Amino acid sequence: LTLTCDTTMTGDLTVGGTVTAQEFHAEFVSSSIIYESGSTKFGDSTDDLHERTGSLDVSGSFTSRGDTFLNVMHDYQAEGQIRIGRVDGTARYHLIKAYNDGTIGNNYLTFALHNGTVDTTADVMKLLGNGNVGIGTTSTISARLDVYQSYSSTDRPMIITNGTHETGIQYDSLLINQNDVPCIRLNEVNNSQELTIAVGNENSNTGIIGVTGQLVFATGRSAGTQGYDNTNARMTIDSS
């Protein structure tokens, strides 16, 4: 059958062989397309756009080539999600949640893991657009790294383990660098009592804790006291 003109069909068309066309335009309304074997190619250049409304179920691997591997776009000021889970019909999955806004502090990327209950996840880590990171907390993240853990006899908010041990080798388990008065503040929240350990390097201001090369311990201070304040300094270890 050779056609050199436009043809309109209102019935069914069954082809037992191969259909070859330079361009093939089709519109499917409330229909299904089944490819039992073979490969399918969509587009021939990077500016081709294929839009789909509805869900896409892929059995097998998904490969994307290019500078942008996957775009997940949502409405303005709405949270978009990537769900990673099981295909056995059980709603057990993990989530990556993203929000984009014109205000840098409102932007976030949240990781939520399946918590053992069907169709339920728990947020475990959140990255804010201003660079702050929350682990165990996703509500108020007020520091570059904000770690929260509910109290228990076995769970700890943070453990630092140096797995390498070499005799005669010098190394640091934890290094805190700061230009002026590095401080560690241990605060008991309920009683607003605090222990401060500070390395003083301010010798020009008597209201500032310590002098150059001193390690100063201060106790019994209120939680609002800044670490470099000399209130209730109890012990000073001089560099000499």
- In whole angstroms, give the CA distance from residue 148 to residue 198: 24
- In whole angstroms, give the CA distance from residue 210 to residue 220: 17
DSSP string, 132-164: -EEES--S---SSEEE-----SS--S-------
User: Rounded to the nearest 5 degrees, what angle is found at the Cα of 13, between the Cα atoms of 10 and 15?
Assistant: 165
3-class state of residue 234 by DSSP: strand
Residues 6+ apart with CB under 8 A from 209: 181, 196, 198, 200, 202, 216, 218, 227, 228, 229, 230, 233
Are the beta carbons of 113 and 94 closer than 8 angstroms? yes
- Residue found under tokens 């039992």: 36
Structure tokens at 157: 């908010």
Are the beta carbons of 112 and 97 closer than 8 angstroms? yes
- Alpha carbon dihedral 188, 147, 126, 112, in 10-degree steps, equals -110
pLDDT bin (cut points 50, 70, 90) of residue 206 is very low
User: Does the pTM exceed 0.75?
Assistant: no
pLDDT bin (cut points 50, 70, 90) of residue 205 is very low
Beta strands in the chain (DSSP E): 80-85, 93-99, 108-114, 121-128, 133-135, 145-147, 183-188, 193-200, 214-221, 233-237
Neighbour count for residue 72 (Cβ, 10 Å): 9
pLDDT bin (cut points 50, 70, 90) of residue 231 is confident
In tens, the pLDDT along 34-87 reads: 766 777 777 777 778 877 777 777 777 777 776 766 677 677 778 888 888 887
